[in-house]
Amino acid sequence: MPKGKCVSKSPVAVDVEAGKTYGWCSCGLTQKEPFCDGSHKGTEFHPIKFTAEADGKKYLCGCRQTANEPFCDGAHKGL
């Protein structure tokens, strides 16, 4: 799958709740960064879902270049 639009050259820190499922925006078109709002409709993109294993902070990819979707892997450093 192609990479989405880069909206941030840094990770997006979010607080997550254990057991809750989240949908990360893979296209970069969302107005609810970093979460999917359906803006991908009509494209080949889809949300990347993950369930938080514990309460805490997660760093989601803002540049859409990560190899570890939806989490930041430092790919933004090469942009």
Taking only the tens place, the pLDDT of each residue in 8-36 is 999 999 999 999 999 999 999 999 999 99
Is residue 38's pLDDT more than 80? yes
| Confidence category of residue 59, pLDDT binned at 50, 70, 90 | very high
The pLDDT assigned to 28 comes to 97
How far is 64 from 3, CA to CA, in rounded Å? Answer: 6
**pTM higher than 0.85:** yes
The pLDDT assigned to 2 comes to 86
The domain segmentation of the chain, as residue ranges, is 1-67
How far is 51 from 17, CA to CA, in rounded Å? Answer: 9
| Percent residues over pLDDT 90 in the chain | 97
Nearest one of 48, 53, 51, 71 to 61, comparing CA atoms: 71
The pLDDT assigned to 10 comes to 96
